[in-house]
Structure formats: structure tokens, C-alpha cells
Chains A and B, each alone.
Chain A
Amino acid sequence: MGPLIPNGIISSDWNYIIAILIGFAFGYILEASGFSSSRKLAGVFYGYDFAVLKVFFTSAVVAVIGLYYMDYLNWIDISQLYVHPTYVWAAIIGGMIMGVGFLAGGFCPGTSLCAVAIGKIDGMVFTLGLMIGIFIFSEFFNSLEPLFERSNLGHITLVDSLNISPYWIIFIFTIIALVAFYFSDWVRSKVKKVFY
């Protein structure tokens, strides 16, 4: 049956409208979870707040379990879903740059826009820096492109590269998530509480 748009159950004209609605919901959840506060986001690094880790890990686990149950029941064809191509070196370098930016600024790109929406000045400054970063990257893209293209591994997943059943990967991933939650709670109990 699904995915609904590629299989013509919903017209592709609805693509952007649905994307906007999901965007609203995503923004609302981010803000409602308190992710528009840079103190909360930086808390993962300092060990006094693990909400970011818990929310994103939970959403990933719930989504993947739900999708595979739907695939099992033939409600959705998992092979039709888009898998983003993996650019190994670009991802490693970009991840490091983003990590530094995340820690220094206290936002990630999505949450910074959330912060702008509720009128936070640090969020606005961060977004401005984000735009400058995008501009610099675009201007130097030609010289960065070889690095970008060379490490392209295509649309790979763990299922393809490890040749393990996806169900086992999900099970192991869920256990990792639960252990991470337990560990983060343990760390939090050891670290001095910060009120903000």
C-alpha cells in the first residue's frame, strides 16, 4: 500500500503541503520538549540534561520499529523508502564541525530556528552564523567537491554492509538505546544539578 505518495494513493501535489504540516508538528515538538533552550542542548555534553539524547534516540527507535511492523503487515514497502547516500569522509568532517558548532552555540540547525521563532537573541545570532556558514560552503563547493564525491558509498544501509537481518539490527539498536538511557540517568545522578 504505502508509501502513499509514490504509489499514487495521495497525489504528489500534496507533497509540499504535507511536508509543511509535518514541519509545523516537528517544530512544535522541539519547542515543547524545551529544545529551544541552548542550556538544555549543551546539557548533554556537560552531563546535567540528557533530554536531547533521549528524545532523538526514542523517536528513531519508535519510528524504525513502527516502520518494520508496517512493512511486515504489508502496509508499507520498506524498499521504496528513500535512503540518503553515505559520504563517509564528508560526514565525518562535517559531523566534527557541526559538533563544535553545536557545543559552542548551543543549538543545532533545527532548534536554532525554533529559538528564533520564540524570539531568542542567541538563536538569531546562531542562525545568522549558520547562513554565513552555508554561504562559505557554497562558495568553496567546487574545491570541496572532490572530497565530497570521492567518499560516496551510495544508498547503503547496515543491512547491506553487515548482511544481518534488519530485525536483529533493530533489536540490538533498541537495547543500545535502553542502555544509553539508563547510563545517562546514572551520569545525571552523579553530576551537580543545574537549574535554568
Chain B
Amino acid sequence: MSKKYKLKRLLVRRYQILAAILFILAAGLVLLPKYKKNEGIAPDLLMKKMISSERYISTDLLADRLVNQDPSVLLIDTRTEKEFQNYALPNAINIPLKKLLDEDVNGYINQDIYDVIFYSNDNFYADQAWIIGSRLGYTNLYVLEGGLNKWFHTIINPELPDETMPEEAFELYSFRKAAGMYFGVGTSEQKTINKPIKKTITVKKKKKRVAEGGC
């Protein structure tokens, strides 16, 4: 009997109870300790992207895309301006790592039309630029694997494969040589032209002999 009575009393007061819950929840939002939220993508997603090798683009693939004049490639040189003036990949834009977050260059990195490919002398600066950009949630960012050092060793000055290596190695070699020529560097082999050795044919003149014998 008393249980029923209690329930009845509770039901009569149901709207007050619901209103109190609403008030407590709203007050809870105000009283909760505040913390600074991370901007950009979540840490676990960033880790997943970092571990994946998809962020690297090989020098061969980049050369192929440049030779075919792929319009979606946007090369960004993360080295210093002086180094950029010395040597840079064709059509690259120089954004030194320190200036990466400047507002006037943000438009190059924070977009989803081009494939942004960072490069430096090695992976080092380019990887840092990639992490900063990806952390902020920018998409289509890539790193040139091995940087300019590898570019030099593979495209500009490719290594001649051994005779025992498979056919693919030779095909790759000839592609790299051709790409190297496209980027304006001739390999030493192309430069030396073997001149055909002139064969001197010595024609021996027959000595006029005195007719021998006779009738």
C-alpha cells in the first residue's frame, strides 16, 4: 500500500523531477572542468596516416608524372631559399619549413585540387612539413621519398644494373636515363660518341712484271 502511495506521489511530481534533471544537466555543462581541444585531425588518425607508406611518392613515379606533364602535381621545396636558388625541381615552389604556417602560403597547402609533394635534400624537412600539414587536417599531401639525394642518384645519375639483373632493372635504367635527359642532364654515355674507326685499305699495287718465258 505504501509502495503504491510513494509511486503515486512520484508521478504527481514527475514534471518537477524532469525539470530538475534538465536544470542539473545544464548546470553540469557550466561546472564541468574545461580543457583545450585539439584542432585538426584526431591523434589516432594521424598515427594511422603516419605509419602508412602511402604518403611517400618514389622518384621514378614523380619523374614519370613530370615527364607526362601531370597538371595535378604541386611540388613544394621545403629547403631554405638559398638552397632553392642553387638547385630545384622544375616548377617547384619554395616554402621553407619555417614559413609553412604563414597565411600567404596557406592556400598552396590547404586545398584539395593538387597533389602537394614536399621535398627537401632528404626526407627530413619534407616529413616535418607533411606532419604539420596532416595534423591540421590538410589532404593530398605527399613526401618525395629520399628527397633530392635520391632524385640525384636515381634520375640524374642512375646506376647501371649488373649483367645478371632481370630485364626490369634494365628497363628501369633506360627509363631513368631518358627521364634524366628530359630534365636536362645527359649521362656520360650519351655524350661520348664513338667515332667509327676509319679503316685504311691499303691497295697493293701489283708490280709490273716482266713477261716471263716466251714462246
Contact = CB atoms under 8 A, between A and B. Distances in A.
Contacts of B30: 165, 167-168, 170-171
Interface residues of A, number: 20
Contacts of B22: 58, 61-62, 65, 174, 177-178
Interface in B12-70: 15, 19, 22-23, 25-27, 29-30, 32, 37, 42
A175 interface: yes
Given A65-B22, A65-B29, A175-B23, 8 more contacts: A62-B22, A65-B25, A68-B29, A168-B30, A170-B30, A171-B27, A171-B30, A174-B26
A56 B22 CA distance: 15
Nearest to A62: B22
A62 B25 CA distance: 9
A58 B30 CA distance: 19
A148 interface: no
Interface string A66-81: 0011001010000000
A87 interface: no
A181 interface: yes
Query: B interface, by DSSP: helix, strand, loop or mixed?
Result: helix
Contacts of B32: 72, 167
Contacts of B25: 65, 69
B18 to A, nearest CB: 9
Contacts of B37: 74
A-B residue pairs, 4 tightest by C-beta: A174-B26, A167-B29, A167-B30, A171-B26
A74 B26 CA distance: 18
Interface string B114-147: 0000000000000000000000000000000000
Nearest to A69: B29
A72 B31 CA distance: 12
> Considering residues A61, A72, A74, A175, which has the most beta carbons from chain B within 10 angstroms of its beta carbon?
A72
A180 to B, nearest CB: 11
> Considering residues A1, A168, A174, A177, which has the most beta carbons from chain B within 10 angstroms of its beta carbon?
A174
Nearest to B37: A74
Contact of B19 (A62, A74, A167, A181): A181
A171 B29 contact: yes
21 contacts: A1-B42, A58-B22, A61-B22, A61-B26, A65-B22, A65-B25, A68-B29, A69-B29, A72-B29, A167-B29, A167-B30, A170-B26, A170-B29, A171-B29, A171-B30, A174-B22, A177-B22, A178-B19, A178-B22, A178-B23, A181-B19
A66 B99 CA distance: 41
A170 B32 CA distance: 13
A1 B45 CA distance: 11
A58 B25 CA distance: 13
Interface string A135-177: 0000000000000000000000000000001011011011101
Nearest to A77: B37
A1 B44 CA distance: 11
Interface in B87-120: none
B20 to A, nearest CB: 9
Nearest to A172: B26
B46 to A, nearest CB: 14
A61 B25 CA distance: 10
A70 to B, nearest CB: 11
B183 to A, nearest CB: 39
A174 to B, nearest CB: 4
Contacts of B26: 61, 65, 170-171, 173-175
Nearest to A68: B29
